[in-house]
Amino acid sequence: MKGIVAYDSYFGNTKIVAETLVEQIKAEGHEAEIRSVKEDYPSPPQGDFMFVGSPIRFGGVTGKTKRYVKHLDLAAWKDKPMAVFATVASPPKGEATEKQKQSYEKWALRAAPKLRDMAKDRGLNAVDAVLSVGVKDQRGPLVDDGLEKTKQFAHDFLQTFKK
């Protein structure tokens, strides 16, 4: 089987998560292709499953990531499983006001599920589980367990094909 891992990245953290997904897919005996949503490719993505990821910026996934999902060929992808992943800055600490903490929970933590729901609303086969990997500060690096969490998410996703 072949997986497509499409991502957007600003400071490189989401790209690292995407590369880790590709490594895990290959480690489990599948083919994988990585694609940046910022690049134009000569042909549309072709595979058996897909991961789509974005950094969370200003409380949401990037516009390029949304456009990527909106422009996926529905006929080609409607029955193929898709998983959504995101990198998200660490929550406010210390002196953060209650309003800042609530805002973080409202926007940052709900952005990846919103992308998943958008994909489902389009008729794509997005799985319920989403991967959110924390980023220290605003620009990174990833939180200490971020790559292990990514590998486990990919493993769990791929196990659904063995049932």
CATH of the domain at 36: 3.40.50.360
Mean pLDDT calculated for residue range 95-122: 80
Entry pTM: 0.92
- pLDDT by residue (tens digit) across 19-37? 999 999 999 999 999 999 9
- pLDDT by residue (tens digit) across 54-66? 998 888 899 999 9
φ, ψ at 86 (rounded to 5°): -150, 155
CA atoms within 13 A on the CB side of 69: 30
State both tokens at 12. Answer: 């490189």
On the question of pLDDT at 40 being above 70, the answer is: yes
Q: What range does the domain containing 117 cover?
A: 2-159
Give the number of domains in the chain.
1
What is the CB neighbour count within 10 angstroms for residue 42? 4
